[in-house]
Amino acid sequence: MRIPRCFVDVPLREGALVALPAAACEHLLRVLRLPEGAQLILCNGDGVDYRAQLTLSGKRSASAQILQAAPNRAESPLRIVLAQALARGEKMDWIIQKATELGVTQIAPVATDRTEVKLDAERAERRLAHWHGVAIAACEQSGRARLPQIAAPTTLGAYLASVGGDSLGLTLDPQGESLAALLDANAFDAARTTIHVVIGPEGGLSERDQAPLRAAGFQGLRLGPRILRTETAGMAALTALQSLLGDLR
């Protein structure tokens, strides 16, 4: 039987008795119906798995006694930033969930020229908190012990200004080169270089988006002959990168 995983936002160490937060207790006790003494794995984002034993302290409260700490082996060797144009409704949740499962390091929601989703400061804050929860659940399901960083929604220009020098920038372009050709043409250390992948909205990236991307050194990536939806394109790019350079080889 698979041991349940649970993210907790507290310091963890071997031998500690950790009071589990209400949301974790709800899931472990009411949804999974774990009994006293059940085994579980705690994570707090530091890259370590903490094997623990469940201790019940009430119908809706519990603690966990940490028995052993061990490095997590599920993190990708690649550092990939997915700059995703804001998508409508549940599509953005799906993108964050699947990108997390595929080992992305950071997700940067961006507003592009043709982005139809408009978020004021209050809505952006609520969505960011919601996306954080989606990423936590995806980490628990996929076995990761590090949460991908989810940046606050911003403009494409602001995102580009934050891209560091030691990076490889890719943007989907039907007229671009294949991933294999781009990797052959760009000598870089995959373990040290951050790979940035920009995915446009449903209407695609406009020329007003493409011009600053080219100026920032981003190169066009072609993923086959078919036009992919915005929620599919990023996952295809991540899978291709992990297959050629990462841990799907």
Residues 117 and 171 occupy one common structural domain = yes
pLDDT at position 57, please? 80
pLDDT at position 1, please? 65
Residues 132 and 37 occupy one common structural domain = no
Helix (H), strand (E), coil (C) string for 172-212: EEEEEECHHHHHHHCCCCCCCCEEEEEECCCCCCCHHHHHH
- The kind and range of the H/E element at 122 are helix 121-142
Is 249 a member of any domain? no
Residues 45 and 116 occupy one common structural domain = no
- Total domains in the fold of the chain: 2
R_g (Cα) of the chain, nearest Å: 20
User: What tokens were used for 171?
Assistant: 């943007």
Residues 89 and 176 occupy one common structural domain = yes
- The kind and range of the H/E element at 215 are helix 207-215
SS3 assignment, position 157: helix
pLDDT at position 2, please? 84
Residues 125 and 237 occupy one common structural domain = yes
Residue 157 CB-half CA count within 13 A: 3
- Partners of 168 in beta bridges: 195
Residues 67 and 124 occupy one common structural domain = no
Is 13 a member of any domain? yes
Show which of 21, 40, 71 is a domain's final residue.
Answer: 71
Mean pLDDT in consecutive groups of 10 residues from the start of the chain, 249 residues: 89 94 90 93 95 89 95 95 94 97 98 92 93 96 96 96 91 91 85 92 93 95 93 97 92
Domain harbouring 30, CATH code = 2.40.240.20
Is 185 a member of any domain? yes
Residues 93 and 203 occupy one common structural domain = yes
Is 238 a member of any domain? yes
Residues 85 and 164 occupy one common structural domain = yes
Show which of 15, 37, 71 is a domain's final residue.
Answer: 71
pLDDT at position 165, please? 80
Domain around 63 = 5-71
Residues 53 and 83 occupy one common structural domain = no
